[in-house]
Amino acid sequence: MQLKIAILPGDYIGPEVMAAALPILEAVLAKGGHSLEYSFHDIGGAGIDNHGKALPDSTLAACQAADAILFGSVGGPKWEKLPPAAQPERASLLPLRKHFKLFANVRPGFLPPALMDASPIRPDRIPNGIDMVCIRELTGGLYFGQPKQTSALDDGDVEAVDTMVYRKSEILRIADVAIATARARGKRLLSVDKANVLECSVLWRKTVSEHVAATAPDIALSHMYVDNAAMQLVRDPAAFDVIFTENMFGDILSDEMAVVCGSLGMLSSASLGDITNRHGQPFGLYEPAGGSAPDIAGQNKANPCAQILSAALMLRHSFGLNAEADTIDAAVKKTIADGIRTGDIAFGGASVGTKEMGAAVLERLA
């Protein structure tokens, strides 16, 4: 297979973790006899600095021509003086998601027993680790709803508005992704909303209930309010399997899931939509979802695992290369099981640098 990938390393730790992940991707593909063609493009702060735009036209064109996007991370203090709507995150990642209609965000949360000490949860509450996945709606809700603005009022006050909007059709298409995910796992689906307060959540709950009843009687569906879900996720994270929610709630709960699973530096993600690539597989954007970590950038400290695992998700979802993806996942798990940790996930564990962690994973590719 011939893979054509647009690589968008971005800012702060983005390029560092990307550099650690690429040799692993190359090695796995070379071994399988696949050819990898990739090119690097500026995004986020790097786009602003080098092209005057967080999402440069040349970057968008390169993404358009690729089978998949491997994304690093964007944003940071260097650009915080820019107007809010011009910030790297809002002006690059969000338009990319919207442009390619990447409405389904898949975030696996996995705590292997070997990483138990890295989780803030007491080990006796998670004797078998954690294995869950968060399906987050990614192109609707508060992130994109209009109006979205700040205005000076006649009475001298200032008012800001964000708008939460969901269409039934948007809920249905993400529900299908959640159902398929649950079907491939424990056939349990937890839908999270705030239906005791929000109209969007009332529609969400009704739509999901009816859709599961009509199309997926094999799936055990349950519902939870988001505040309760946030609490249950620290109280008993092992009880979760597939958690499924709207954009803003998913942003918050997936960070919580990641840290309960040991580290934001382990949080990989796939963002998918309806567009297919040259191989007839879903076009997607793959990114570590833990952020650009300006505080540890440039120090060879960041955990590259989320970037490496995102590359594996890319092989799985956009190329159907499941064996290759499994090989990468297994090498990361083995590296962790061998006690190798970078600074940011070691709540008390041994420590190596970003490059060394990448090299350790590379060595363990079976």
287 sits near Mg ion (criterion: CB under 5 A) = no
246 sits near ligand IPM (criterion: CB under 6 A) = no
| Binds ligand IPM by CB under 6 A, chosen from 289, 314, 346, 362 | 289
> Residue 85 phi/psi, 5° resolution?
-70, -10
> From the CB of 342, what's the least distance to ligand IPM, in Å?
20
Between 270 and 352, CB nearer to ligand IPM: 270
**192, 253 Cβ separation under 8 angstroms:** yes
Stretch that binds Mg ion, among 89-97, 235-243, 250-258, 331-339 (CB under 5 A): 250-258
Q: How many CB atoms lie within 10 A of CB 326?
A: 15
| Binds Mg ion by CB under 5 A, chosen from 16, 193, 246, 251 | 251
Is 326 catalytic? The answer is no
Is 148 catalytic? The answer is no
The Cα-based distances of 56 to 91, 138, 326 in angstroms read: 10, 22, 34
> From the CB of 254, what's the least distance to Mg ion, in Å?
6
Binding partner of 89, given Mg ion, ligand IPM, none, CB within 5-8 angstroms per partner class: ligand IPM
Catalytic residue among 143, 193, 329, 333: 143
- Alpha-carbon distance 362 to 358, whole Å? 6
Between 93 and 229, CB nearer to ligand IPM: 93
CA-CA-CA-CA torsion for 16, 18, 19, 20, nearest 10 degrees?
Answer: 90
Between 106 and 242, CB nearer to ligand IPM: 106
> From the CB of 162, what's the least distance to ligand IPM, in Å?
13
137 sits near ligand IPM (criterion: CB under 6 A) = no
Between 67 and 251, CB nearer to Mg ion: 251
93 sits near ligand IPM (criterion: CB under 6 A) = yes
How many binding residues for ligand IPM (CB under 6 A)?
A: 4
Q: How many CB atoms lie within 10 A of CB 301?
A: 20
Between 289 and 359, CB nearer to ligand IPM: 289
Is 53 catalytic? The answer is no
Residues pairing with 225 in the sheet: 193
Between 114 and 248, CB nearer to ligand IPM: 248
Catalytic residue among 12, 67, 166, 194: 194
> From the CB of 23, what's the least distance to ligand IPM, in Å?
25
Q: What amino acid is encoded at 113 in this protein?
A: P
Q: Would you state the structure tokens that stand for residue 124, as one six-digit string?
A: 């006796």
Is 255 catalytic? The answer is yes
> Residue 141 phi/psi, 5° resolution?
70, -155
Q: Would you state the structure tokens that stand for residue 240, as one six-digit string?
A: 């979760």
Catalytic residue among 11, 251, 329, 344: 251
> From the CB of 254, what's the least distance to ligand IPM, in Å?
6
89 sits near ligand IPM (criterion: CB under 6 A) = yes
CA-CA-CA-CA torsion for 185, 186, 189, 190, nearest 10 degrees?
Answer: -110
Q: Which residues bind to ligand IPM, rule: CB under 6 A?
A: 89, 93, 251, 289
Provide the annotated active-site residues. Answer: 143, 194, 227, 251, 255
